[in-house]
Amino acid sequence: MPKKKFAKESATIMTEMVLPNDTNTLNNLMGGKLMHWLDVVAAIAAQKHSNRIVVTASADSISFKEPIALGNVVTLKSQVTRAFNSSMEVFIEVIAEDIPANKKIMTHRAFFTFVAVDQNGKPIEVPEVVPETPEEKEHYEGALRRRQLRLVLSQRMKPEDAVELKSIFNLPGTN
């Protein structure tokens, strides 16, 4: 198993069409269906990075700004932004396309966290991520702050230990 892998090695693209069974009574895509697709496309990226079984540890807040209509084609792009010990943060971007109308909009962006596990479900180490492009570097830099926020919210980290997170608010006790 390599100790480091390029971020782009986990890049995954999944394309779906919104069918009648996927919609609410306004004929728009159900939020739960979109979350299922997000989970699948992100899990594939995490598997590509770790070459392991992965489980979803958390999904950051997802807001539904734009409805996605029946018949739209939905493209979900995912990539691992950064890996820690056993966990990996995955960035996902969602693009909805009305092909006959020639309209394409970016509807959602989300971050999910996956943990690589062994056959007994125990967390296992994953390779580091090497970011290359400016966007990959930006996501990599922000990942530590987002991780600390998640761990504080899930009461796995004391707020006073979240140094990277505190530093963006210029709170006392930070550099």
Ligand X SMILES: CC(C)(COP(=O)(O)OP(=O)(O)OC[C@H]1O[C@@H](n2cnc3c(N)ncnc32)[C@H](O)[C@@H]1OP(=O)(O)O)[C@@H](O)C(=O)NCCC(=O)NCCS
Binding region for ligand X (CB under 6 A): 55-58, 84-87, 113, 115, 117, 121, 123, 150-151, 154, 156
Distance CA 152, CA 142 (A): 16
Which helix (H) or strand (E) segment is 106 a member of? strand 103-117
Long-range contacts, stretch 143-146, CB < 8 angstroms, 24+ apart: 143/81, 143/82, 143/89, 144/82, 146/60, 146/89, 146/111
Considering the complex, what minimum distance in angstroms separates the CB of residue 169 from ligand X? Answer: 21
Considering the complex, what minimum distance in angstroms separates the CB of residue 17 from ligand X? Answer: 26
Of 12 and 113, which CB lies nearer to ligand X in the complex structure? 113
Considering the complex, what minimum distance in angstroms separates the CB of residue 147 from ligand X? Answer: 7
Of 31 and 121, which CB lies nearer to ligand X in the complex structure? 121
Of 96 and 151, which CB lies nearer to ligand X in the complex structure? 151
Distance CA 91, CA 111 (A): 5
